[in-house]
Structure 1
Amino acid sequence: MSTSCPCGLGEPYDLCCGRFHDGSRTAPTAELLMRSRYCAFAVGDPAYLLGTWHPTTRPKRLRLDDDRVWTGLEIIGRTGGGLLQNEGTVEFRAHYRLQGRSDAQHENSRFVREAGRWFYLDAR
C-alpha cells in the first residue's frame, strides 16, 4: 500500500502526485501543478521541478536542501488556473523543519499553460 501524498490531498502518492512525477500524467490545473511541485520538494525530485518550470525563468540547475524536511502544505487562495484557462496564481504556505526549527515559506506563484501543459513561471 502506498503512503499518503505529501501534497495534502489525502490520496496515496502513486495515485496523486506520483503520476505527475513519473510522467504518466500532467497536472490539469495550476493548483495541482503547484501541489505536485511542493511534493517534488518533499520527495527530493529536482528533475520534476526543473521540467515543470517555464523555460524563460527556469534555472540551469537546482540543488535541494537535504536538511529541510517539508511537513505540510496550506493553500491560501487561487485565481484562474482552471481546466479552460491559460494563466493562474496559487497562494500557499509550505511548512518545513530545518535544524530542529519549524518555519514556513509563503508565496503567491504564477503559472501559465502552453500547448496544454502547465508551468511554474515565478513568485510574487
Structure 2
Amino acid sequence: MAIELLHVAAERPGPEVELLRLRGRLSGPGASKRLLEAAAATPAGVRLLILDMNGVEYMDGAGVGALAQLCCMARATKRRLVLTAMNSRVRGILSAADMLPMLEEAATPAAAMAR
C-alpha cells in the first residue's frame, strides 16, 4: 500500500484570504515542512489563512507540531488561522494533544470567510 504524501494546493478566494487545501497524510518532517513552507509563502496582505483539512487522512505528532507552529506564525503576522472540515480522527488527535482550544474551526471554507 502506497503512503499518500501531503499535497498542499493554494487558492485565493478573496483579496485578503488564502486557502490551503490539504490532501494526504500530515505526518513526518517532510509533510510538516511542506505545510509550513506553503503557509510562509502566503502574501503579506492576507489576513485570513484557511486550512481545508477535508483531505487529511492521518496526522501524527509532527503534524500537530506543524499546526502549533502555524498558530504562532499566524499570531505573529496578525492573521486568523481557521481549520475547516476536520474528520473525527484528526479532531481526536488534536483533542488528545490539547490543541483544540488554540484553534479556530469552521465547517467549511465558506463559513470561515463569512465570520
Do the two structures share a fold, i.e. TM-score over 0.5? no
| Structure (1/2) with the larger helix percentage | 2
Larger Rg: 1
What TM-score results when the alignment is normalised by the length of structure 1? 0.29
